[in-house]
Structure 1
Amino acid sequence: MRTQIAVIGLGYIGLPLSLALCERGETVIGVDVDERKVNELRAGVTHVMEPYRGESLESILRRHLESARFTATTSLAEAAERADTFIVTVGLPVAGDVVDKTLLLACVNDLGRALSPGDLVLIRSTLVPGMMEGEIVPRLASTSGLVPGRDFHVAYAPERVAEGRAMEEFQTLDVVVAGLTDACADRAMAVLARLTDGRLHKTSLRVAELSKVVENAQRDVNIALAHELKVVAEQHGVDVYELIRMANTHPRVHLLEPNIGVGGFCIPNAYAYLAASLTSEEHIPLFSLARQINLTAPHRAARQLDEALRQIGKRLSGARVALLGLGMKDGSNDIRQSPAIHFAEILAERGAAVTAFDPTVDPYFPFQAPSLEDCLANADAVAVAAWQAEFDTAPWPDLLARARQPLAVLDLKRRLVPSLKQAGWQIRGDSHLPYIAVSAPHVSATRDCAVEMVP
């Protein structure tokens, strides 16, 4: 009897989803075309960082491998022998503004050939709105030889979890659900009710597709607003974080804080998905402008790092810049569209010698250093792009003493300066600015080094 759930795609979303289902008592067979990844998972190894209730994702994986609640395979046919529910998490990459549907549609073709009467296909990938009815359902029909909505069920429930909190949020967040028919939606809701304690909201396929893209697009717009507010605060000589904190005391204001840019898979791709769903005559300039503002944030950071170095008698061209964190956000080893990597590339193009360290990111780029010590040695400037847990306990005064004094610091996370102050370092610049200049207690800075905030 086929009673298992098959999760197709075992990346940053699919693997936590699989293990969250296991935590809820389900038996899951994970499917991925990457043979190396599948072999690693079978051995209890994963590079996805996801703490959950004090336990690492790798530990949870091993626990459910031992209990046989989770297995992994590259074969959809093998999964179809044991599963009657197929949850698809294969993503749609974007190159420029062009959405690549190849991998997902290939998966749908393969899945159609493996279906049996009574099965449920539940798509959880973020889609270009219109794909369910226009491409996915027709392909499932043609490759299976079955009638969708009559012989098997088809539904859509976009995931809306944040990487790093996926295990928890899969089990707690509300879910938007749509089916090709009411019976399809009800079958999907019965499965999802076993996963989440959140509410299930039934709607149409098109609204469900649009809702996920709009959720991501609105965050892109809100982050762009935060970057623009940095420019406003800089012109008025005030602390942008204090400005946002004061504005957010109003119950209907929920401003986000600025950073070095926007990365990952979901938010940066939202505009492309939305634009691809519209006719060529229709335009959405607000979303387009927000995307451009967020794409240029690393460029603005590089320009002001150049200015910061000039104010301590140095130049970006020829300077040694230590970059801390390469993940697309704090606590993440996901480097897809990471603004930190974009920032490093911009600095290198402008003549800087960049050395980066992130304890969670495997050696991949030629500018990665093996340790914090190596990264900071003889640096003229330090920039924090993403904060990792290992940085919490680092002896920053001792480490930064290895750099060249005075030192320009881009402290966007506001973590380094407090520890340096406690150690008696000389701080040049207003305390609220992310760009400052510092010198070790035994070094005298030769000039005033106050620098401006990066927008």
Structure 2
Amino acid sequence: MDKKCISVVGLGFIGLPLALSFCEKGFQVYGVDVDPGKIDLLQRGMAYVTEDDDGVPLDAHLKKHLAAGTFIPTTEMEHTRAKVSAYVVTVGIPVHPSGGQLIYEPLDAAIDALGSVIMRGQLILLRPTLVPGTVEQRLLPRLTAVSKLAAGSDFHVAYAAERVAEGRAMKEFRTLDVVVGGLTPACTQRASELLAELTDGAIHQTDLRTSQLAKVVENVQRDVNLAIVNELAKVAQAHEVDLYHLIEMTNTHPRVQLLMPSVGVGGFCIPNAYLYLRDSVEDKDMMPLFETARAVNAGVPHRLVEAAALRLQDRGRRLTGTRVAVLGLGMKDGSNDTRQSPAVDCALAFAAAGADVRAFDPTVPRATFDFQVETMAECLESAAVVVVGAWQPEFESVPWKDVWPLTDTPVIIDPRHRLDTFLPSPQPSGQLS
């Protein structure tokens, strides 16, 4: 068992950059994932996650560590037995897209697989966002039942949620503070020592339950702050003032920091946080503020559809049958992760309203959605509404002066005014926030 040899379980949008971040710190990493297609791509040196590490793409890190033998992708947990000192788990709890039910099966399966290989003296460090209490109430009983070992004495268990933003994960894994809580003080210390090898940030030690709650609260706080801005968009419209100027003036106060609006709030973390908190308590009505914030943010794509329809109506046009171009489908700028993406939600909302939707994102595989097209020109052609969903770096090299004239004097939904730098002058009227 080598102290500098670990396994990262789950090689998704967080797990893969995490595994390669450990490799960059001198670790040998067994990357485990149940998806054979994903492992095949990795073994061929193809990263499916968009990341830029100070100018170095994830593909470059992947190829380097494959060649050095410091990164070993596999579907077989058994290959890690007795070789690694720690298992770092990134498998999370998805939410059913229509019913909102929490889906525990992937995490349960990963824990059962770990229980079958865990050995005395090893560490299991859990890093996904979890329903507070999941480690004690659900995962530890499964681990001990399968392994026949005692958690906390035979092997160590700790929780330290990742706090990174996709697109800059590798840099933030090296720099951000971490909150860690273990089953025992020895578990906490063992996890802290491993994390200190990864990050230059501070390691904050706490108890197991607080560490799980802290991560969910971080995400809920963001949800509430974003809901404030989305509500202010309606207030600004009612007062006929510019939302961005209002935010700028308000933020001149040193204790106020309003965020910028977008086409919605997406990703795997923030939209699920309220549901995780709600699932962790018996009184489901104790958090009306968080519930309201979630409803406000979830409703943004539909509000934008209604606003665009009204603007078209002012021009004597109907949304039904109108071409709508959606630029960028990631859940945030610079990401190719479309899980719970507000840009996708906007596309679907416009389609449900009868619009002819086309979307272009050079980082998202073309077969992901029916409304995707191959080029920016094809997306913009005859578009009477243009929605900037997620701004991708590739958009900055688009020949805008050539492709923008293909549009049909569109209503623009560009909450962060990304297009302003690139569009020919004069700008078309009808900018929507």
TM-score (normalizing by structure 2): 0.96
| Contact 1:382/1:407 (<8 A) preserved | yes
SS in 1 for 2:6: strand
1:87-146 deviation per Cα after TM superposition (whole angstroms, max 9, x unaligned):
100010012332111111121111011011111111111111111111111211111111
Q: Are 2:316 and 1:313 aligned?
A: yes
Paired letter, 2:49: V
Q: Are 2:199 and 1:196 aligned?
A: yes
2:306 equivalent among 303, 321, 326: 303
SS in 2 for 1:29: strand
Distance 1:76 1:164 in 2: 28
Distance 2:388 2:158 in 1: 42
- Relative to structure 1, the CA distance from residue 71 to residue 281 in structure 2 (aligned partners, 3 Å threshold; closer, same or farther) is closer
SS in 2 for 1:245: helix
1:326-356 deviation per Cα after TM superposition (whole angstroms, max 9, x unaligned):
1111111110011111111111111111111
Q: Are 2:119 and 1:116 aligned?
A: yes
How many residues of Structure 1 are paired with residues of Structure 2 in the alignment? 429
Distance 1:208 1:411 in 2: 37
Paired letter, 2:328: G
Paired letter, 1:213: V
Q: Residue 156 of structure 1 aligns with which residue?
A: 159
Deviation at 1:281, TM superposition (A): 5.6
1:281-324 deviation per Cα after TM superposition (whole angstroms, max 9, x unaligned):
65211111111001100000000111121222221111111111
Distance 1:234 1:112 in 2: 56
- Relative to structure 1, the CA distance from residue 89 to residue 281 in structure 2 (aligned partners, 3 Å threshold; closer, same or farther) is closer
Deviation at 1:25, TM superposition (A): 1.0
1:361-413 deviation per Cα after TM superposition (whole angstroms, max 9, x unaligned):
11121111110111111222222111111111222232121122x33222323
Paired letter, 2:380: L
Q: Residue 32 of structure 2 aligns with which residue?
A: 31
Q: Residue 69 of structure 1 aligns with which residue?
A: 70
1:193-216 deviation per Cα after TM superposition (whole angstroms, max 9, x unaligned):
100000011101110010000000
SS in 2 for 1:331: coil
User: Which runs of 5 or more structure 1 residues have no equivalent in the other structure?
Assistant: 429-434, 437-452
- Relative to structure 1, the CA distance from residue 426 to residue 116 in structure 2 (aligned partners, 3 Å threshold; closer, same or farther) is closer
SS in 1 for 2:348: helix
- Relative to structure 1, the CA distance from residue 281 to residue 306 in structure 2 (aligned partners, 3 Å threshold; closer, same or farther) is closer
Deviation at 1:427, TM superposition (A): 3.9
- Relative to structure 1, the CA distance from residue 354 to residue 132 in structure 2 (aligned partners, 3 Å threshold; closer, same or farther) is same
Q: Are 2:223 and 1:220 aligned?
A: yes
After alignment, is 298-307 or 136-145 more displaced? 136-145
- Relative to structure 1, the CA distance from residue 217 to residue 424 in structure 2 (aligned partners, 3 Å threshold; closer, same or farther) is closer
- Relative to structure 1, the CA distance from residue 215 to residue 313 in structure 2 (aligned partners, 3 Å threshold; closer, same or farther) is same
Q: Residue 11 of structure 2 aligns with which residue?
A: 10
Deviation at 1:19, TM superposition (A): 0.6
Q: Residue 87 of structure 2 aligns with which residue?
A: 86
SS in 1 for 2:179: strand
Paired letter, 1:71: I
Q: Are 2:231 and 1:241 aligned?
A: no
Q: Residue 387 of structure 1 aligns with which residue?
A: 391
Q: Residue 180 of structure 1 aligns with which residue?
A: 183
Q: Residue 371 of structure 1 aligns with which residue?
A: 375
| Contact 2:278/2:284 (<8 A) preserved | no
Show the 5 A alignment for 1:38-437: 38-95=39-96, 96-280=99-283, 282-363=285-366, 364-404=368-408, 406-420=409-423, 423-425=424-426, 427-428=428-429, 435-436=430-431
After alignment, is 392-401 or 67-76 more displaced? 392-401
| Contact 1:31/1:72 (<8 A) preserved | yes
- Relative to structure 1, the CA distance from residue 353 to residue 282 in structure 2 (aligned partners, 3 Å threshold; closer, same or farther) is closer
1:394-442 deviation per Cα after TM superposition (whole angstroms, max 9, x unaligned):
22232121122x332223231324443xx443643xxxxxx43xxxxxx
Distance 1:399 1:289 in 2: 40
Distance 2:355 2:242 in 1: 28
Deviation at 1:2, TM superposition (A): 3.6
Identity %: 50
Q: Give the CA RMSD over aligned residues.
A: 1.4
- Relative to structure 1, the CA distance from residue 427 to residue 32 in structure 2 (aligned partners, 3 Å threshold; closer, same or farther) is closer
Paired letter, 2:314: Q
| Contact 1:73/1:79 (<8 A) preserved | no
- Relative to structure 1, the CA distance from residue 281 to residue 314 in structure 2 (aligned partners, 3 Å threshold; closer, same or farther) is closer
Q: Deviation above 4 Å: which 4+ runs of structure 1?
A: none
SS in 2 for 1:318: coil
User: Which runs of 5 or more structure 2 residues have no equivalent in the other structure?
Assistant: none
Distance 1:53 1:178 in 2: 31
| Contact 2:82/2:119 (<8 A) preserved | no
SS in 1 for 2:235: helix
- Relative to structure 1, the CA distance from residue 151 to residue 424 in structure 2 (aligned partners, 3 Å threshold; closer, same or farther) is closer
Distance 1:417 1:242 in 2: 16
Deviation at 1:160, TM superposition (A): 0.9
Distance 2:427 2:209 in 1: 58
| Contact 1:387/1:413 (<8 A) preserved | no
